Amino acid sequence: MTHVLLATDSDSVYNAVDAALGSDASEVSRVRAGVEVLDAVREQEPDVVICDLQIGNMGGMATCLDLRMEAEMGRAPETRVLMLLDREADVYLAKQAQSDGWLVKPLDAVSVQRAVAAVLG
């Protein structure tokens, strides 16, 4: 079973990702703030973290960089990260954050499934 950790404070983003990925083959859990992601990764060890670019108090870029730095220091497991972007211009931010992949909103089920498969592949 694939475990997906979704970091978003948007109910519509959660609903779209859960509808696309929620099945017998995968489980979607959620945190609502970037500062919660590191602890959730340490506790749950998800296969992939999906990070919304705009999440309260610690955005997706900072969250991704935090995961990368903590993993490099051996204080967190290596984790694949897929960023959800607001516009094409944000691809630069995803690359700077060392994200494994990205998807520009609005989301559709097929795009979410393909992006997660590519990040995990």
**Structural domain spans, the chain:** 2-120
What pLDDT, on the 0 to 100 scale, is given for residue 25? 85
Tokens in use for 9?
């404070």
* pLDDT for 104 beyond 90: yes
Tokens of 114: 């393909």
Tens-place pLDDT, residues 79-99: 999 999 999 999 999 999 999
- Per-residue pLDDT tens for 25-84? 899 999 999 999 999 999 999 999 999 999 978 899 999 999 999 999 999 999 999 999
pLDDT at residue 24, rounded to an integer: 80
**pTM of structure:** 0.95
Name the CA dihedral angle for 83, 52, 95, 46, rounded to a multiple of 10 degrees: -50
Question: In CATH, which of 3.40.50.2300, 3.40.50.1000, 2.60.40.10, 3.30.565.10 is domain 2-120?
Answer: 3.40.50.2300
- What average pLDDT score do residues 93-120 get? 96
